[in-house]
Structure 1
Amino acid sequence: MASGFRKNQVAVSTLFQVCVWWTLALYYGATFGQEVEARAYSNAPIGLNFASAGIAQASSGSYTLTSEVTSFTHILDINGQSGKISLIIPYAELTGSKNVNSQTINASTNGFSDPVLKASINLYGAPALDSEEFKSYQQDLIVGASLNASIPWGSYSNQQLINVGANRWFIQPGVGASQAIGPWRLELEGAATIFTSNTSYIGSNTFSENPIYSTQTHVIYYFPSTAWLSIDTTYFIGGQAFVNGTPINGSQENWRFGSTFSYPIDKHNAIRLSASTGISSRTNNSFDLLGLSWQYRWGPGL
């Protein structure tokens, strides 16, 4: 199997970037598939719950990844400050083809992808409040921290080059701040994504990856109806990959630009539209993404 891997190393390195950045598109955002995530650090009444379901589609060249994602979020009191915990469960379908050395490589796979657990705590500026107390809350500066992790339960076969499951863990610690200026919110976030190794990559090979470091900025405007619109930018660097200790690509680098619009239907329901695109990529790993989701919220005071 190792010799077979070496014969196909060109194909592996060509398709690797597609795999990595579709994984980013699928996992690194709360808006069901967008890694550019606004409002990661904000305040909400304790006990409030959010459930959402949506669909997102990422495309890169002739490849298309469609993901249907459900998520659940609960707001809780953590030592007097508000925090939240979320579970994200994605299902994905991947189709496409690519010519490598005059040979067409087809990709078609589907199944449940790795679920993601997300936890965050506001360290300053977002006190734990019930629904009545929250009515008089006015945001100023919020500072928070987060920890996200994937669980390698998704569909995976070591006989396939491309899978919707990664067969490895990642953990992603992060910090961020949100400053209110009238109806505007200015946000800045930073994170590091650390990966374990996949020891069953195309047989019994070992796939490993250096950490990916990212920063995000968001400019958000709140309308009087409580609808909001965000303009988002993110930057990723790192993620050089290895098979059996041998590099198969260089360090990744990507600038992305996106926007999200959330519109409340009533006090329980809201719809959300999101889009993002690569605006600069040093390693040809850009993709375009569109998403639509429905969110339902319930809890004390609603």
Structure 2
Amino acid sequence: MGCLFWLLGLAGCPSASAQSIEPRNYSNAPIDVNFLILGGAHSKGGAAFDPALPVKNPQLAVWSSFVAYARVFDLAGQSGRVDVVAPYAWLSGTADYQGRPVERQQQGLTDSIFRVSYNLIGAPAVSAAEFRNYKPDLIVGASLEVTAPSGVYDNRRIVNIGSNRWTIKPEVGMSKTLGPCSLELAGAVTFYTANNDFYGGATRTQDPLYSVQVHGVYNFSLASWLSLSATYFQGGRTTIGGKPGDDLQENWRLGATLAVPLSRYQSIKLAVSNGVYARTGNNMSLVSLGLQTRWGAGM
């Protein structure tokens, strides 16, 4: 199941789940199974939490830790999942704002993330015993992700680990299994509410950000797999105090994920990703590691 890597991607990019890489997000699992995930991530380079910030030459480092919970449920005979993640981050580094260098250090809770996903076809709600005989083929699903402005925020600073706004991200995706391999495709759009207290009290708005992801996954076994991924983002131009910014995003990222079981109930995942092109010059790299424990569903 792909929920762990989705959570790792968010933890590594606080408040910027629109630009996370998410393999195996539309897959099946036994209903009533629970997941507890503990992990951490490190990103460096651009402003991972908000690539559209009006800064230049960002050299920022973010260390993140998180705790997350996920549960699989049955709705009308198909499986779905609910996820909740609460990250904590440490940020330090420099950037240029209006031609002047600025330095920033901050730590605290980042924005909380809530997500509900539902497999429309191809992923029937099955018990743990029935799941052993389940053979995936074509799965089509949809999800809705909401990021709440619960992170620490200081309107006297241009860079924060909290965003002081809500984001809403609907997505549709599909996966096709071909022997031990699967091919995945997902498309999403992220909407942003206004930040009415941006850097001294200005109003900052942002246009929707569109994204497409493709993944190739090789399954060594049911719980062990390797994914190679690519994702593209476009849009997200901002307006501050009524003045449009020259910050239309057009970014490409590549990533890889390796999942290895430790026992029947635990697994570990290592994920890396790197920006290969960013129109605004705000590339960043990310490494994340997480431990997942599962229980329930008569396992």
Q: Which range is displaced more, 55-64 or 256-265? A: 55-64
Q: Percent identical across equivalent pairs?
A: 39
From 40, 44, 59, give the equivalent of 1:59. Answer: 44
Q: How far, CA to CA, are the matches of 2:264 and 2:162 in structure 1?
A: 36
- The yes-or-no answer on 1:267 pairing with 2:264 is yes
**Residue deviations 1:157-191, cap 9 Å, x none?**
21221111111000000000010011111100000
Partner of 2:52: none
Whole-angstrom CA distance in 1 between matches of 2:264 and 2:11: 33
Distance 2:107 2:186 in 1: 32
Q: Deviations over 1:103-137 (max 9, x none)?
A: 43101111101100011000000010111111111
Determine helix, strand or coil for the equivalent of 1:132. Answer: helix
Q: TM-score scaled to structure 1, two decimals?
A: 0.88
Residue equivalent to 1:253: 250
Matched, 1:122 2:119: yes
Cα distance in structure 2, aligned partners of 1:27 and 1:80: 33
Change in Cα spacing, 1:126 to 1:28, as seen in structure 2 (3 Å) is farther
Question: Is 60-69 or 203-212 further displaced after alignment?
Answer: 60-69
Q: Normalising by structure 2, report the TM-score.
A: 0.89
Moved more, 262-271 or 221-230: 221-230
Cα drift, residue 156 of structure 1: 1.1
Secondary structure of the corresponding residue to residue 14 of structure 2: helix
Contact 2:12–2:43 at 8 Å: present in 1 too? Answer: no
Q: Aligned pair count?
A: 278
How far residue 286 of structure 1 moved from its aligned partner, in angstroms, is 0.8
Structure 2 stretches lacking a partner, 5+ long: 1-9, 46-57
The list of structure 1 runs, each at least 4 consecutive aligned residues, that deviate by more than 6 angstroms after superposition, is none
Matched, 1:25 2:25: no
User: For 2:132 and 2:298, how far apart are their aligned partners in 1?
Assistant: 10
Based on CA coordinates, which of the two structures has the bigger radius of gyration? 1
RMSD after superposition = 1.9
Q: Assess, with a 3 A threshold, how the Cα gap between structure 1 residues 264 and 164 changes in structure 2: closer, same or farther.
A: same
The alpha carbon displacement at 1:224 in A equals 3.2
> In structure 2, what is the equivalent of residue 281 of structure 1?
278
* In structure 1, C-alpha distance between the alignment counterparts of 2:138 and 2:16, rounded to whole Å: 24
Deviations, residues 73-122 of structure 1 (Å, cap 9, x unaligned): 00000111000000011111110023557743101111101100011000
Distance 2:247 2:147 in 1: 24
8 Å contact from structure 2 (residues 84, 112) kept in 1: yes
Output the amino acid matched with 1:290.
V
Secondary structure in 2 matching 1:133: helix
Quote the Cα distance in structure 1 between the aligned partners of 2:296 and 2:226. 25
